[in-house]
Amino acid sequence: MINTFDFLEQWKAYQSKPIYLGCSGGVDSMVLFHLLRENNFKFTVLHVNYQLRGADSEGDEKWVKETCERFDIPFKVRKVDTPQLLQEGGNLQELTRKIRYAWFQELLDQNPDSLVALAHHQDDQIETFFQHIARKSGIIGMACMLYEHEHFIRPLLLHSKTEILAYAKENQVEWREDISNSQSKYTRNKLRNILIPEMEKSVPNLSEAVITLVKAFQQTQLFLESEAAETIQKIRTSNQWEFENFDITSEVIQVEILRQLGIRASILFELQKLRKTQKGRKISIDGMEIWKENSHFGIYPISDFVLPKLEITEVNELPNAFSKNTLYLDGNKIKGKLKLRKWEKGDQIQALGVNGSTLISKVLTGAQISSREKENALVLCDDESVLWCVGHKVSSLAIADEQSSLILEVRVD
């Protein structure tokens, strides 16, 4: 049973917080709209027009907007040409979910103190459970939707569709009916309209049993998140997953750590193989690079390499102190043009104070830098030689001294 008094008791801690209400105009979201309004919550309605149903989609947007105006509730709409996006491929329901959650997250990022209220209910939870079984989901999948998680709240999650409809009738809540919900061409609709009703004929307490299982999975998921929290914090702070920790962590916790880093669990076997290889090997997945170092994995977002700016200035004399990112060359000893680039296999440098040439790879290995830093190390060359392994070694071939008549200050920023 839903009533406004119980709703306020459960959610009054958030009564003064700014809330975004995801609202399609259907009975579920309009009941939540009514509950928020009746209890004087501060909320803004968010409506996504996917432009999938022609005049009906436009009608939904218009009706929700006019309802908000009638009750003086702020309204925002996001129009998306979903049919055009579908031409690029993909699953409709997954695409629309990504669209709305991307918008929700965008608004949350702009207003970190805010919440997003969604009108999912118990029947949605049961449908999600069976969908995730079909997808062979892990614990996080079987935990389905949480009543409250991070900046998202689902106040109707413990109530059935029957209870929601009863509340709507009793309180004369108006809504728009989406006829596509009664069509069974999508998996969720097949579950809702055909499969679950058929199962309930043979298993009358099916819903209760599923909700009990979901609660058990949610408790397990919360435990996993708690166990992974300290490691996640260290990785996000240092970009390092220490082998001392990795080696003693169970696979189920390792999977949770990867999930929170946005890396799919299927990489775990490759990660375990990487652990046994030599330093400098890496794997790339889901926009991340994972490097094998001596004592840890280095975990970084993949980003396009941008060559730093090379500044060359003529100066009158050498400074009293030098920095790692600045070099002073004798302009008369440079052969051709100066060029800054990434180092390449086989590059050599005739370093100051060393007889003969040394491989750049050996210089970088001796510098004891990370494999990622080594891959992105830079060299400054003229047309004949490497004059500088930036930040590490300087060549003796064109270095400026007190007798140089043309001194060039070369800075890498």
Choosing from 277, 301, 325, the residue where a domain stops is 301
- Indicate whether 234 belongs to any domain: no
Residue 211 placed within a domain: no
Classify residue 219: in a domain, yes or no.
Answer: no
CB atoms within 10 A of CB 382: 18
> Do 31 and 163 have their domain in common?
yes
Q: Kindly report the pTM of this predicted structure.
A: 0.68
Q: For the chain, give the percent of residues with pLDDT over 90.
A: 71
Question: Which stretches of the chain score pLDDT less than 70?
Answer: 179-188
Per residue in 159-183, pLDDT tens?
999 999 999 999 999 999 876 655 5
Query: Using one digit for the tens of pLDDT, what is the confidence trace for 20-51?
Result: 999 999 999 999 999 999 999 999 999 999 99
What's the CATH code of the domain at 109?
Answer: 3.40.50.620
Residues 253 and 171 in one domain: no
Among 252, 277, 301, residue at a domain's last position: 301
Please write the tens of the pLDDT for every residue from 320-361.
888 888 999 999 999 999 999 999 999 999 998 888 999 999
CATH number at residue 329: 3.50.40.10
The amino acid present at 24, given as its one-letter code, is S
The residue range of the domain holding 284 is 239-301
- In the chain, the number of structural domains is 3
Q: What pLDDT shows up at residue 300?
A: 94
Task: Give the 3-state secondary structure percentages of the chain, helix then strand then coil, rounded to 5.
Answer: 45, 20, 35
297 bridge partner residues: 241, 292
Shared-domain flag, residues 47 and 145: yes
Whether 137 and 20 map to the same domain: the answer is: yes
Q: Taking a C-beta distance cutoff of 8 angstroms, is the pair 407, 315 a contact?
A: yes
Neighbour tally for 127: CB within 10 Å:
21
Burial class (CB in 10 A: 0-12, 13-18, 19+), 189: middle
pLDDT at 181: 59
Judged by DSSP in three states, 114 sits in: coil
pLDDT at 150: 86
